[in-house]
Chains A and B, each alone.
Chain A
Amino acid sequence: MFKMFAEPIQDGPLRARLQSARAGALVVFEGWVRNHNEGFAVEALEYEAFAEMALLEAEKILAEARERWAIEAIVGAHRTGLLQIGEIAVWVGVSAAHRGEAFAACQYAMDEIKRRLPIWKKEHYRDRPAEWVNCQHCATAPAHHTHHHSATDGARV
């Protein structure tokens, strides 16, 4: 199951879906909004989603994880709208008999969520105008822009 939330993510109902008497491990990843990125002070983040397609693509990712690893259940969620520092932007939980599978499936789902879901993030800074992350150097000029930056978990590609 994957859900989009326009309001703060409540993890109780998400965790409940991961309960299983066969599970000996639960791995949960939360992506939080942090207060800085690339040296700039971030005051808030705004997420916009093409929700219809994001949900379809997310369900594909969760199905792929279930196929690849022996897990009991996997659940994900993503926020939209304006988020303040410390709020949960993305949530993935995996239950499994053993921790190795749960860690691996969670890592896979997070990597693919970041790579494939049609979701965009506008960073609102304290000292300069807001920007759509990853889009500023994509103007109609050459620029081979491959680096990745964001004020959530800081994965760099």
Chain B
Amino acid sequence: MPEITIKYFAALREQAGCSEERRQTAVASAAELYRELQAEYGLSLDIQHLKVAINNQYCPLTQPLQNGDTVVFIPPVAGG
């Protein structure tokens, strides 16, 4: 199975209880990965409010995941 690195920030970091993890998963897309994590950690943010970055680039949530990808789900940003 592909191994994915997931990094967590802000509200998602607090809810997941960690900043980073590696996980072997058979999910087909970033959206499916989020559903898997949501079920495991009880993440409260709905996917419709999130963006996803794969390897430091914004991507569609439907993007397929590759072995070695780093995935970050991005809650609504509030810089500035």
Contacts and interface: CB of A to CB of B under 8 A. Distances in A.
Contacts of B56: 52-53, 56
Nearest to B55: A53
A135 B72 contact: no
Given A52-B56, A138-B46, A120 B11 contact: yes
Contacts of B44: 138-140
B41 to A, nearest CB: 12
Interface residues of B, number: 22
Interface in A105-151: 110, 113-122, 132-135, 138-141, 143, 145, 150
Interface string B57-77: 110000000000000101111
Interface in A24-40: 31
Interface string A39-71: 000000001111011101000000000000000
Interface size bracket, A side: 35 or more
Main DSSP-derived SS at the A contact region:
mixed
Interface in B1-46: 7, 9-11, 13, 38, 44-46
Given A50-B9, A118-B9, A120-B9, A138 B76 contact: yes
Which residue, B11, B56, B75, B80, has most C-beta atoms of chain A within 10 A?
Answer: B80
13 contacts: A48-B13, A49-B79, A50-B9, A53-B56, A53-B57, A53-B72, A54-B79, A56-B56, A78-B80, A119-B80, A120-B11, A141-B46, A152-B80
